[in-house]
C-alpha cells in the first residue's frame, strides 16, 4: 500500500493536488491526481482547490505562488464524465453550481500575491481557464492550450469568456472560443494568451524564476492583474465575423453563437458581473441536445479506444500486409497502411489496376506534402514501402491479407480460396466487402477461423470507420489482430456480427427505404433533401445516392432488403429506376441531380429538370407536399427501428459502438449523438407513438416488442 509522506513543508495534501512550501516565502500548488491518468477538474478537485486556497490565505508569510502539474499534462479540463449528472440539474441549480466553481478560480485570482502557471502539457478548457486566473503563463514548447468547449456542445464556463478577452483581446478570444481548436506553443504567445514558451524540461524553473522577479518587484504583476478587471475593448469587425460564422450552425450547435453574444454582452461588465452572466449562459447551453450528445460522443470514443487497446494486446503483431485488388480502394488502403508504418504488397492480375492503385497512393501522398504534413523525402520513403506486383511472391510473409477485389460473391470466393494457398498458416485473411455475407465467403476456405470481414468506407483516407466483421468461425485472435491493425492505421474499428449489410449499411438501407416510400407517396426529392439537410444531415438521401453512385447504392439496397424480406422491399426503389436509366450520379454527371465540374475540379450540384418526370412513374397518386416533420419521421423512424433490432440481435456489443459507427460511417448528425441517443432524447414512448402514425406504411415502421417494453418502462439505451 502506498503511503503519502507528508513533510514539514506540506501545507495541504489532497488526492488530486497538493500545496507545498518550496522556498521560505513561496508555495507551489501542484496538480497531481493519483486515481486517474490525467489532472481534471471534478468535484473533488474543486473541493481540494478550495481547501488549498484557504491554507494559502492563512499563511501570511507567503509572497508568491507557483501553479504546476506533476503529471505529463497540465490539466485537461472539466471532468466530462461528470457532465451527465451535472447537466441533469435544473438550469438555476446548474448555474449556481458553476458559479460556485468559478468563485474558486476567482479566489485564486484574488490572492494578494503574484501567481505564475507552469503549463507543462495540455491545458484545455477549465485547465486553461485555471491558468488564465493566474498572473503569468509559462508554456512548454510541446504543450497545447485552448478552449475546446464548443466541440462538446458547451462554452467555457470557468471564466474563459471573461478572462481571455481581457487578457488577449476580443478578436483572439472570439477566435479561440468559436473555433475550439487546440493551440500549439508557436501560436499561443503571439495571441497574448501565454507569456513565455520554453523547452519542456525548463518550464518549472523558468516559471519559478519569473515568480521571483514578480516577488522582487521587477515584474509589475499588479498591473497585469488589473487587466482582468478592465472592460473589453469591443472589436466590431471580429464580432461581426464571429456572428456570421456561428449563425450558420446555431440551430443545432448553439454554443458558439451563445458564447459570442455573451462576450458582446459582458464586454463592459465588471469581472464579477461578467462571470455571473457566463454561469447563466453556460447553464442554458448545457441543457441543449448538442451538449448531451457531444459529451456522450467523447465518452463513446474513449470506450472504443480502450477496446482497440485491449485487442492490440491480444492480437498478433502485423508487420506486413498484402492487399489483393488494386484500383482506387486498394490504393487507398495501401496508402493508409504505409503512411502509418506497415509495408504493403499490392497484388492484382492487371497491370492497369496496379497503375491506378499506385497513382491513387501517390496522389494522396502528394496531398500530404502540399499540406505541409509530410516532407517530399518522407513521402518518397512511404511510397517505397508499397510494392505493386502481379504475382504472389512474398504474400506468405504477410501477417494480414486484405482482399479488395470486385464486389461479387463468386469472384471473391475464388480469389480468397486461391490466396489462402499462398498465405502463411497463421495469417489473417480479411475481405473488404460492403454487402456480401462473411459466412458465405468463408465457405470453401480451409482456415475459416482466420477469416474476417474488414469493411473500409470510401474514401479510405477520409473515413475513420472500419467495420470488423466476425463470421461464425472467426477466432477471437483474428478479430483482435484486425482491430489492432485498423487502429494502428489510424482508423476506428468497430466489431460487428455477420448479417446482411452488417451494421452501417443495414441501418442506412432502412433510411433509404423510408426515402423511397416518401417518393412513392408523391414527395419531391429536392424537398426531402432540403428537410433532412436542415435536420442536420450533411446531404439528403437523393444527393447521398448520387455521391455513392447509383449502381452501388442500388446494389446495397437490393441485396440488403433481400436479407430482411419481412420488413424491407426494394421494389419501386427510385435509385434502381435512375440506375436503369443510366443515371449513375456524380460519376457520370447525372443522377437525381446534374453535376458540372467547377474551375477547382469539384462537382457542382445543379437541378436536373427531368428527374421529376422520371420519378413520377413511381408515384401513382401524383405529387404531394410533405411537412418537414413528416419527412424527418418517415426516414428517421425506420433507422431507429433498425438500430434497435441490431442491438437486440447482438450485431454490435454496445449502444456506444452502434452510435459511433453511424456517426463515423454515415455522417449521422453529431448533435443527435447517434440513432440510439436520439431515441433516448425523443423517449422510446414518443418513438413508438410516432411509429403508430405510419403503421399503414408497412413493416418498416413496426417497432419491436422490446421497443414497446422499453417505452412502457421508460427505459433508455444510455444511463
Ligand atoms: N474529462 C475526463 N477524462 C478525460 C478528459 C476530460 N476532460 N480528457 C481526457 N480524459 C481522460 C481520458 O478519458 C483517458 O482516460 P483513460 O486512460 O482512463 O481512458 C485519459 O484522460 C487520456 O485521454 P486520451 O484521449 O486517451 O489521451 P490523448 O493523449 O489521446 O488525448 C487529451 C489527451 C486531453 C488531448 C484528450 O483526451 C482530450 O481532448 N480531452 C478532452 C479535453 C477537453 O475537451 N477539455 C475541456 C472539457 S470542458
**Ligand 1 atom at shortest distance from the alpha carbon of 73:** 34
**Ligand 1 atom at shortest distance from the alpha carbon of 299:** 13
Residue 192: the pLDDT is 78
- Compute the chain's Rg from CA coordinates: 29
Ligand 1 pocket test target in 38, 45, 132 with most atoms within 8 Å of CB: 38
Q: Is the CB of 302 under 6 A from ligand 1?
A: yes
Residue 161: the pLDDT is 98
Closest CA to 568 of 693, 703, 700, 437: 700
Helix (H, G, I), strand (E, B) or coil at 690: helix
Residue 8: the pLDDT is 78
Q: Is the pTM of this model over 0.85?
A: yes
656-689 pLDDT, tens digit per residue, is: 999 999 999 999 999 999 999 999 999 999 999 9
Q: Is the CB of 306 under 6 A from ligand 1?
A: yes
Q: CATH assignment of 504-713?
A: 1.10.1040.50
Separation in Å, CA 383 to CA 359, 391, 708: 10, 19, 55
634-663 pLDDT, tens digit per residue, is: 999 999 999 999 999 999 999 999 999 999
State percent of the chain over pLDDT 70.
Answer: 99
Cβ atoms of 665 and 479 closer than 8 Å: no
Residue 313: the pLDDT is 86
Cβ atoms of 221 and 136 closer than 8 Å: yes
pLDDT at 528 over 60: yes
Residue 1: the pLDDT is 40
Catalytic residue among 314, 455, 473, 555: 455
* The domain made up of 318-497 is a member of CATH 1.20.140.10: no
Element (H or E) spanning 358, and its range?
A: helix 351-370
Quickly list DSSP for 86-109: HHTS-HHHHHHHHHHHHHHHHHHH
Mean pLDDT of the chain: 95
Ligand 1 pocket test target in 31, 33, 37 with most atoms within 8 Å of CB: 37
Quick one: pLDDT band at residue 5, thresholds 50, 70, 90? low
Which triple of cell numbers denotes residue 452? Answer: 474476417
387-401 pLDDT, tens digit per residue, is: 999 999 999 999 999
Residue 600: the pLDDT is 84
Residue 365: the pLDDT is 97
Q: Is the CB of 703 under 6 A from ligand 1?
A: no
**Is 455 tagged catalytic?**
yes
Q: Is the CB of 18 under 6 A from ligand 1?
A: no
Task: Return the domain boundaries, the chain.
Answer: 10-287, 318-497, 504-713
Q: Is the CB of 286 under 6 A from ligand 1?
A: no
The contacts of residue 636 (CB under 8 Å, 6+ apart) are: 511, 514, 535, 675, 678
Quick one: pLDDT band at residue 458, thresholds 50, 70, 90? confident
In degrees, rounded to 5, the angle at the alpha carbon of residue 15 between the alpha carbons of residues 276 and 130 is 30
280-317 pLDDT, tens digit per residue, is: 999 999 999 999 999 999 999 999 999 999 888 889 99
DSSP code at position 491: -
Q: How far does residue 165's CA lie from ligand 1's centre (Å)?
A: 26
**Ligand 1 atom at shortest distance from the alpha carbon of 157:** 48
Cβ atoms of 64 and 114 closer than 8 Å: yes
363-393 pLDDT, tens digit per residue, is: 999 999 999 999 999 999 999 999 999 999 9
Quick one: pLDDT band at residue 2, thresholds 50, 70, 90? very low
Separation in Å, CA 633 to CA 513, 516, 575, 626: 13, 13, 20, 11
The contacts of residue 72 (CB under 8 Å, 6+ apart) are: 120, 121
Q: How far does residue 658's CA lie from ligand 1's centre (Å)?
A: 21
Quickly list DSSP for 584-620: -BGGGTBSSSEEEE-TTS-EEEE--TTHHHHHGGG-T
Q: What is the 3-state secondary structure (H, E, C) of 189-238?
A: HHHCCCCEEECHHHHHHHHHHHHHHHHCCCCCHHHHHHHCCCCCCCCHHH
Residue 435: the pLDDT is 87
**Ligand 1 atom at shortest distance from the alpha carbon of 301:** 25
Q: Are 10-287 and 504-713 the same fold in CATH?
A: no
Q: How far does residue 76's CA lie from ligand 1's centre (Å)?
A: 6
Q: CATH assignment of 10-287?
A: 3.90.226.10
Q: How far does residue 655's CA lie from ligand 1's centre (Å)?
A: 21
474-517 pLDDT, tens digit per residue, is: 999 999 999 999 999 999 999 999 999 999 999 999 999 999 99
pLDDT at 348 over 60: yes
d(CA 503, CA 646): 7
- Alpha carbon of residue 252 to chain centroid: 16
The contacts of residue 205 (CB under 8 Å, 6+ apart) are: none
Quick one: pLDDT band at residue 603, thresholds 50, 70, 90? confident
Q: How far does residue 125's CA lie from ligand 1's centre (Å)?
A: 11
Q: Is the CB of 38 under 6 A from ligand 1?
A: yes
Contacts of 522-526 with CB under 8 Å at 24 or more apart are 522/619, 522/621, 522/622, 522/623, 522/624, 523/623, 523/624, 523/626, 523/631, 524/612, 524/623, 524/625, 525/574, 525/592, 525/611, 525/612, 525/615, 526/607
State percent of the chain over pLDDT 90.
Answer: 94
Q: How far does residue 650's CA lie from ligand 1's centre (Å)?
A: 29
Residue 4: the pLDDT is 55
Q: How far does residue 30's CA lie from ligand 1's centre (Å)?
A: 19
Average pLDDT of the segment spanning 89-97:
98
Ligand 1 pocket test target in 40, 76, 121 with most atoms within 8 Å of CB: 76
Q: Is the CB of 78 under 6 A from ligand 1?
A: yes
pLDDT at 625 over 50: yes
Quick one: pLDDT band at residue 88, thresholds 50, 70, 90? very high
Amino acid at each position: 500500500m502506498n503511503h503519502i509522506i507528508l513533510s514539514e513543508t506540506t501545507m495541504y495534501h489532497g488526492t488530486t493536488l497538493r500545496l507545498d512550501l518550496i522556498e521560505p516565502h513561496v508555495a507551489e500548488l501542484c496538480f497531481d491526481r493519483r486515481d486517474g491518468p490525467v489532472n481534471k477538474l471534478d468535484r473533488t478537485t474543486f473541493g481540494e482547490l478550495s481547501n488549498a486556497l484557504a491554507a494559502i490565505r492563512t499563511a501570511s508569510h507567503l509572497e508568491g505562488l507557483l501553479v504546476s502539474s506533476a503529471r505529463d499534462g497540465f490539466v485537461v479540463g472539466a471532468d466530462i464524465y461528470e457532465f451527465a449528472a451535472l447537466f441533469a440539474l435544473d438550469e438555476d441549480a446548474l448555474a449556481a453550481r458553476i458559479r460556485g466553481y468559478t468563485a474558486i478560480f476567482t479566489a485564486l485570482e484574488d490572492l494578494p500575491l503574484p501567481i505564475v502557471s507552469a503549463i507543462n502539457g495540455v491545458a484545455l478548457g477549465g485547465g486553461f481557464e485555471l491558468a488564465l486566473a493566474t498572473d503569468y503563463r509559462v508554456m512548454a514548447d510541446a504543450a497545447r492550450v485552448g478552449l475546446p468547449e464548443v466541440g462538446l456542445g458547451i462554452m467555457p464556463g470557468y471564466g474563459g469568456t471573461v478572462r481571455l478577452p481581457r487578457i488577449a483581446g476580443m478578436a483572439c478570444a472570439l477566435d479561440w472560443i468559436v473555433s475550439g481548436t487546440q493551440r500549439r506553443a508557436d501560436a499561443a504567445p503571439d495571441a497574448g494568451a501565454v507569456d513565455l514558451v520554453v523547452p519542456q524540461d525548463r518550464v518549472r524553473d523558468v516559471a519559478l524564476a519569473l515568480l521571483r522577479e514578480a516577488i522582487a518587484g521587477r515584474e509589475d504583476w499588479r498591473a497585469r492583474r488589473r487587466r482582468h478587471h478592465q472592460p473589453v475593448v469591443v472589436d466590431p469587425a471580429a464580432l461581426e465575423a464571429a456572428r456570421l460564422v456561428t449563425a450558420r450552425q446555431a440551430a443545432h450547435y448553439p454554443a458558439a453563437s451563445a458564447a459570442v453574444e455573451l462576450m458582446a454582452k459582458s464586454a463592459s461588465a465588471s469581472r464579477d458581473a461578467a462571470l455571473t452572466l457566463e454561469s447563466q449562459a453556460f447553464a442554458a447551453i448545457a441543457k441543449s441536445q448538442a451538449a448531451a450528445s457531444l459529451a456522450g460522443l467523447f465518452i463513446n470514443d474513449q470506450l472504443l479506444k480502450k477496446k482497440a487497446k485491449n485487442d492490440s494486446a491480444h492480437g498478433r503483431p502485423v508487420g506486413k500486409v498484402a492487399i489483393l485488388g488494386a484500383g482506387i480502394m486498394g490504393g487507398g488502403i495501401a496508402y493508409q497502411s504505409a503512411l502509418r508504418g506497415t509495408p504493403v504488397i499490392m497484388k492484382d492480375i492487371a497491370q492497369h489496376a496496379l497503375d491506378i492503385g499506385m497513382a491513387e497512393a501517390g496522389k494522396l501522398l502528394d496531398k500530404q506534402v502540399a499540406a505541409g504534413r509530410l516532407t517530399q523525402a518522407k513521402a518518397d520513403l512511404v511510397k517505397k514501402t508499397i510494392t505493386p506486383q502481379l504475382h504472389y511472391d512474398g504474400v506468405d510473409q504477410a501477417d494480414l491479407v486484405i482482399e479488395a477485389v470486385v464486389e461479387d460473391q463468386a469472384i471473391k470466393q475464388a480469389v480468397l480460396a486461391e490466396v489462402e494457398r499462398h498465405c502463411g498458416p497463421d495469417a489473417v485473411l480479411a475481405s473488404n466487402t460492403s454487402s456480401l455475407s462473411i459466412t458465405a465467403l468463408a465457405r470453401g476456405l480451409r482456415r475459416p477461423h482466420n477469416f474476417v470481414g474488414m469493411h473500409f468506407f470510401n474514401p479510405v483516407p477520409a473515413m475513420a470507420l472500419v467495420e470488423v466483421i466476425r463470421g461464425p468461425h472467426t477466432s477471437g485472435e483474428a478479430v483482435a489482430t484486425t482491430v489492432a491493425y485498423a487502429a494502428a492505421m489510424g482508423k476506428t474499428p468497430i466489431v460487428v456480427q455477420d448479417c446482411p449489410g452488417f451494421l452501417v449499411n443495414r441501418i442506412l438501407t432502412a433510411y433509404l427505404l423510408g426515402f423511397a416510400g416518401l417518393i412513392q407517396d408523391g414527395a419531391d426529392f429536392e424537398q426531402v433533401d432540403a428537410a433532412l439537410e436542415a435536420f442536420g444531415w450533411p446531404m439528403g438521401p437523393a444527393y447521398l445516392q448520387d455521391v455513392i453512385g447509383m449502381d452501388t447504392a442500388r446494389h446495397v439496397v437490393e441485396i440488403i432488403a433481400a436479407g430482411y424480406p419481412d420488413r424491407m422491399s426494394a421494389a419501386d426503389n427510385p435509385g434502381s429506376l435512375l440506375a436503369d436509366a443510366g443515371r449513375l450520379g456524380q460519376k457520370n454527371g447525372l443522377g437525381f441531380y446534374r453535376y458540372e465540374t467547377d474551375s477547382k475540379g469539384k462537382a457542382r450540384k445543379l437541378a436536373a429538370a427531368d428527374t421529376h418526370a422520371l420519378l413520377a412513374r413511381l408515384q401513382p397518386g401524383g405529387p404531394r407536399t410533405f411537412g418537414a416533420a413528416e419527412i424527418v419521421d418517415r426516414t428517421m423512424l425506420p433507422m431507429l427501428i433498425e438500430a434497435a433490432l441490431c442491438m437486440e440481435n447482438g450485431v454490435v456489443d454496445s449502444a456506444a459502438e452502434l452510435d459511433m459507427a453511424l456517426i463515423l460511417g454515415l455522417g449521422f448528425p453529431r448533435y443527435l449523438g447517434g440513432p440510439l441517443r436520439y431515441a433516448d432524447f425523443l423517449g422510446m414512448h414518443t418513438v413508438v407513438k410516432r411509429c403508430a402514425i405510419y403503421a399503414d406504411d408497412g413493416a418498416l415502421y413496426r417497432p419491436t416488442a422490446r421497443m414497446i417494453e422499453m417505452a412502457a418502462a421508460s427505459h433508455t439505451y444510455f444511463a
